[in-house]
Amino acid sequence: MPVSSDFTSILSQEWEINFLQCYPNGYLKYTDLSNILQLTAALHAEKGGISFEDMQVFHQAWVLSRMRIEINRLPKWKDKVTVKTWINSLENSRSTRCLELYLGSEKLIGCETFWVVMNTNSRRPETLALPHEHFDKFSERATKIPFSKIDLQHDFDKIANETVQLSDLDIVNHVNSVKYLEWCLNYVNVDSIFKQKIKSFDMNYLKELSLNDSYEINQKIRPTEIIYKVESNCKSNFALQIAFK
């Protein structure tokens, strides 16, 4: 698709929080927060002519590699929020994208994401085949701490054995990035979630999982954080580090 006539290098998109996206306490689920952020990023890519559909002409797709979300507080049911997004860097096969979520003028959430261009046939990274010079790149960052590699050199406790189901897959034919977060959050203390005790989480996407793959979820509990590791055939697929207030 050509670049949209209303394309701008910084996109602001409004979303209204609906009841399907909320926990029983009426506040936005962390998984749906992640979905909203990624949908905003996808919309900006579409307007700028580098969407999934555009890239599939070259058998390419954006794949999320790392994501950090810092949370001041969560929006609630019926809130109308604005997500602002821009590209910090885009070179060869890699891109850093920043996002911020506002309620009115109050910044509730900051997020930074790291994306890799993957060839959907070879399943290997490669240089973006589409032009992107029309995207201005901005040095401003959205989080206080940048995304990082999660240290997995710990003794973990195995808490679950599972198998990838059809409902876990996305259009790229692998487990959707938000599903990994959902799997792990199911083992977080409910009180910590309902009382919004999570101040940030980092996610590393390390190796894709496909339909019928078996995997296990491992946990390391520390005084102010929990680290989760999703592993298959003794190889790490995903890591999540949650920091608490």
Q: Which residues pair with 90 in a beta bridge?
A: 95
**Does residue 14 register a pLDDT over 90?**
yes
What stretch(es) of the chain map to CATH 3.10.129.10?
1-144, 149-245
- Output the pLDDT for position 197: 97
- Are 53 and 112 a contacting pair, CB within 8 Å? no
Judge whether residue 146 has pLDDT over 90: yes
DSSP summary character for residue 229: E
With cut-offs at 50, 70 and 90, classify the pLDDT of residue 124. very high
* pLDDT over 80 (residue 24): yes
The pLDDT of residue 1 is above 80? no
Q: Is the pLDDT of residue 183 over 70?
A: yes
Instruction: Decide which of 3.10.129.10, 3.20.20.105, 2.60.120.10, 3.40.50.80 is the CATH code for 149-245.
Output: 3.10.129.10
Closest CA to 187 of 109, 111, 245, 240: 240
- Note the CATH number of domain 1-144: 3.10.129.10
Query: What is the pLDDT at residue 143?
Result: 98
User: The whole model's pTM is what?
Assistant: 0.94
In this predicted structure, the answer to whether residue 191 has a pLDDT above a threshold of 80 is yes
- What pLDDT, in 10s, does the model give residues 41-70? 999 999 999 999 999 999 999 999 999 999
DSSP secondary structure, 114-145, as one string: EEEEEETTT--B----S--TTS-B----SSSS
Locate tokens 């959430």: which residue?
Answer: 109
